[in-house]
Structures are given as structure tokens and as C-alpha cells.
Amino acid sequence: SIMIISERQSEGLDTYEVSSQSSNDSYIVAIDEDNACFCSCPDFIYRRSRDEHKYKEVCVGDTDRYCKHLLEVFKSFKGGAV
């Protein structure tokens, strides 16, 4: 299962290290003060590359553009709000 390994909050940016569900890898999830979201996993990168709005930031509420790592961070740390 996916687990949050670590959390770091700094001014304007929250970052989380999140485990992979299928390997020993981990990925970085970042959410900035403007609610732009990023994950370093291949699924997130692929979704953005296939999206017609690929240069548009993924923001809180763009749930169809989330990967499972972003969803886990929202479930665990953001009160379940996606």
C-alpha cells in the first residue's frame, strides 16, 4: 500500500515523500501556496504529457489529473479535501 514516508513544510511549499505501491521507489509530492500540485511519479508525468492542457498547472480540485500519490497526501494531510 501507499504510505507517506516524510513530510516537510516550508514557507509557501509543502512536500511529501510517498512510497510506491508496486516497487521500492518513492516519489515527491509538492503543493505550493497557490495550490499547484506536482508528483514525480511516472503516472503523473504521463498524465500531464497526454493532457491537452499539459502546460497548465495541476491545481487542487483537478482530481482527474491526480495520481494515487497526490490522492494519498490529500487523504492523509489535507483533511480528505481534493
Mean local confidence (pLDDT), 4-12: 91
Residue 4: pLDDT above 80? yes
Residue 79 is predicted with a pLDDT of 61
Cα-only R_g, the chain? 12
Q: How far apart are alpha carbons 27 and 73 in whole angstroms?
A: 12
pLDDT, tens digit, 9 for 90 and up, residues 47-74: 766 665 555 566 666 667 788 898 888 8
Q: Decide which of 28 and 62 is more confident.
A: 28
Mean of per-residue pLDDT scores for the chain = 81
pTM of the model: 0.77
